[in-house]
Amino acid sequence: MAPMLKGQGYMVFSASDGQEALELSRKYPGPIDLVITDWKLPRLNGSDLCSHLLKERPGTKVMLMTGGYLGNSNFPLLFKPFEYKHTDNKSSGRLGVSQAIILVAEDEVMIRNLVMLLMKAEGYVVLSASDGREGLELSRWYPGKIDLIITDEEMLRLDGMNLIAHLHKERPRINV
């Protein structure tokens, strides 16, 4: 993931375990916008790492990657496997539809951009909204089929559950 993010212009710090990541954070004087960490790490697991980081750097966005964790998490989860590949936009996405259209509604810019980057790398066309209200308006404006909605649950102008309810009424075949 680090090479993909660096290739998109982000400054990336990498660590081999949770304790090393925590030490890197403590040594770095500047702001850290987003921490993406694996759930299972040596010396300090990802959940504990995120808890420490949020105490020391309130407001930092965190995301845990997991290959199969199905319990409750206090942090957003990014499920593996995923892969970054360059695409010519002619490939079909995992939905099995050429040029599948995904609507992403997420109020956190870093998370929205990361999801968009990953989905575009898989060959999807991504419509982006900064909150549920904008997602609903974008859905109404967009004339074609939208295959999938990826949304945050908690957003200010219209939360994810209400967005899904509206979209299911207006686009009954949309996947969530």
What is the rounded CA–CA span in Å between residue 28 and residue 10?
A: 16
**Antiparallel, parallel or unpaired: β 61-66 and 34-38:** parallel
Q: H/E element holding 158?
A: none
Which domains does the chain show, CATH number per domain?
2-79 (3.40.50.2300), 101-170 (3.40.50.2300)
pLDDT at 108: 86
Contact 107, 151 (CB under 8 A): no
**Identity at 124, one-letter amino acid code:** Y
CB count within 10 Å of CB 148 equals 19
Instruction: Give pLDDT, residue 49.
Output: 92
Across the chain, which has 176 residues, the per-10-residue mean pLDDT values are: 69 88 92 85 88 90 72 67 44 45 87 84 82 89 85 88 90 82
The pLDDT score that the predictor gives to residue 88 is 39
User: Edge-to-edge, what's the strand order for the sheet holding 148-151?
Assistant: 125-129, 101-105, 148-151
Distance CA 116, CA 164 (A): 19
Strands 61-66, 148-151: pairing kind:
unpaired
User: What's the pLDDT score for residue 98?
Assistant: 46
State the greatest distance between any 2 C-alpha atoms of the chain, in Å, as a whole number: 51
